[in-house]
Structure 1
């Protein structure tokens, strides 16, 4: 869990009380500067500047206002911190939110596709920072469309099948560095949909296909587990949204950690309680034992080969690296281009395996087809 103390430099402590009072909105006439905060109407969330680990780097972020220590749930300029003691968040002429440094250089911008010069920015009690057109009242931009490493109730991951647009979670580089890290959670385009955790371009973990009310690859999502997660298609807009409900807690959040874990935290009044974590064990990792390998949580060696297979590299297995998987002990007797069924000795047959969840690329198929075509699909 990432909890962060916010460091204020000594000169900032001399700011007047009026400067530290929470703003109701940001306009061109009233920008937000270091030492100032923007509060949501009910005082649930707060927007302001923070500096992790006593560094000189200043970031614009959102956190739970009522909780100590502060927990950062969104960062604007995560790729480019302000490195001096002067920064201002204001509205540009075309209606974009822009973060300026002491030299009036643009550090970060929403790049709002709008020509409105009559708008303001405010923070909602959902934790959503929005730019609102003063005339029409429409939302021109929102932070919920530009997620960081945290998903809050009423925000969601998204995939647009028509355009390929994605809304993802991206981990911090470390617990004290909000720049983009190695892990990304996203909805993939398979039918039925799945949620993948990617490490760069390589799958790290996955949910399995969505099966009406649960993900097939998440054992906890059975009849006895009241899942807070939901996946809903928007047929009209061609999008798929993945979100979660807030249950039995005033505050909650889903985070992708810098180590690649997906965690659901709920505040119980005194601290954060871990309500869900994935991967829950090493066998939940994508292709943990490689092709034709079976990961057994109760087995100290973790990986076994299925019947008729042996480790591809015994040396690697002895060193604890089993991702290369297994190969056939003997070659198949049938021809790949033949549909003739041969009966009797030496016949190639399917080996049925029970209580096994697939963690490789062709997992949408049945267990029998999975075993037969695993090599072809390079899982």
Structure 2
């Protein structure tokens, strides 16, 4: 009988625990989240929920975070992406050593948070930002956070990029399919080199590139600029390289997702009760990485869509066709260190791939020119920051890769200048050609003006004669009567 009452009491306490857990935003080391009892964590203002779910038509179980008040299950983070649990045995808890773990059948490990520090009195908490954190009781410092290990979704406040101090790469990775959240082919993150930029990878190949940050936006993504709804922050220093967005209008719900084919940004439209996509990347054919090959310029609306940068020619003039755009262009006249050279200014380009580039944020544009001029392998230079008249120096070496026309002219707000190395003789020839064109235009205008002026003068002269005759005084005639 005593055993019966003990079991009954234990069951009652367990039931009370689950009722409590349904409304709680955190658990301690003595508590847990169980799939078999459908327990969840709900963030303080009930924005997000954490629990177990099955994606699409799959019966596998995953631990994830989703929007709590939005109909359906819009998942923003998955813990055990590559190790699904095949039944409802999943349990999330903090083990005896202070680590956050997800256990499956027979208490086997399905996933664990790889925190480097062990908590004495650990608290696992789901924040209203959608961030799941492990921290010490009564402390705000996080020992681990889900924002450092994103899945396919980018949320406000989440850093996308590198913590260089510990080698942490925060990048989005697409789901393999709507039924399978394991990492797919597409990923989206920063490349680590002197002049960082966001790159979308398809397997081991570059699929799309943002262009480098110019102080206002990434040169190939002017769409990702601050708005009245949210602002963007880019940080690049010896400790971190990251990009994030923060909401200005907290009532607006927005998220960015990397799916199996592209990056998409959505906003929740309450009136329609649906997610509305308002941005996708790549946005057109010219966003395809290096579509036109080395030194080729991709121009949407032009035919052919791929053209050579001025001063360059197609590598194979006889066989060059749309299927061979990847071959790109080469210089019309090859350069050598002994040549007298200069730089031609081009406006409105997406800045070239920065893999073979150098960045110096303290140099002026003129200092940048001199530095590039004195280095035979430097093919182009530009201000790295376009704000307040421009500052900093970016230099490119070897070929110019993945260029596209972003702005039609220099006056465009999204325009950025790049100075490309050219032979002085070619520049002189261009100047002569330009002067010749100017002279021809001036002469043509003068001829047209003269042709129009001659009839006008003739007509004017005739009118003047008539007027003079009409105004001549009539002499009185004496008549003898």
Give the shorter-chain TM-score range: 0.7 to 0.9
Considering only CA atoms, is the larger Rg found in Structure 1 or Structure 2? Answer: 2
Is the partner of 1:144 in helix, strand or coil? helix
Q: Which 10-residue stretch deviates more, 184-193 or 168-177?
A: 184-193
Is the partner of 1:103 in helix, strand or coil? helix
Structure 1 residue runs of 5 or longer lacking an equivalent are 1-14, 342-347
Shift of 1:137: 5.4
Q: Deviations over 1:332-359 (max 9, x none)?
A: 465x3x4143xxxxxx987765433245
Structure 2 residue runs of 5 or longer lacking an equivalent are 1-14, 359-368, 373-377, 382-394, 402-481
1:37 aligns with 2:40: yes
Q: Which 10-residue stretch deviates more, 69-78 or 175-184?
A: 175-184
Match of 2:294 among 288, 291, 295: 291
8 Å CA contact 2:199–2:210 kept in 1: the answer is: yes
Aligned counterparts of 1:304 and 1:287: Cα–Cα separation in 2: 12
In structure 2, the CA distance between the partners of 1:207 and 1:324, relative to structure 1 (3 Å rule), is same
Shift of 1:84: 1.8
Aligned counterparts of 1:311 and 1:298: Cα–Cα separation in 2: 23
1:278 aligns with 2:271: no
TM-score scaled to structure 1, two decimals? 0.79
In structure 2, the CA distance between the partners of 1:208 and 1:20, relative to structure 1 (3 Å rule), is same
Q: Which residue of 2 aligns with 1:47?
A: 50
TM-score scaled to structure 2, two decimals? 0.64
Aligned counterparts of 2:316 and 2:231: Cα–Cα separation in 1: 40
Aligned counterparts of 2:45 and 2:19: Cα–Cα separation in 1: 20
Aligned counterparts of 2:76 and 2:119: Cα–Cα separation in 1: 28
Aligned counterparts of 2:301 and 2:118: Cα–Cα separation in 1: 61
Shift of 1:377: 4.3
Q: Deviations over 1:107-132 (max 9, x none)?
A: 10003223335222121111111112
Q: Which residue of 1 aligns with 2:256?
A: 254
Q: Which residue of 1 aligns with 2:97?
A: 94
Shift of 1:291: 1.1
Q: Which residue of 2 aligns with 1:369?
A: 379
Q: Which residue of 2 aligns with 1:355?
A: 348
8 Å CA contact 1:264–1:276 kept in 2: the answer is: yes
8 Å CA contact 1:208–1:363 kept in 2: the answer is: no
Alignment size in residue pairs: 350
Match of 1:61 among 54, 64, 77: 64
In structure 2, the CA distance between the partners of 1:106 and 1:54, relative to structure 1 (3 Å rule), is same
Q: Deviations over 1:268-318 (max 9, x none)?
A: 213222233222212122212111222121136532344552265987845
Cα RMSD between the aligned structures?
3.5
8 Å CA contact 2:294–2:399 kept in 1: the answer is: no
8 Å CA contact 1:362–1:370 kept in 2: the answer is: no
Which structure shows the higher helix fraction?
Answer: 2
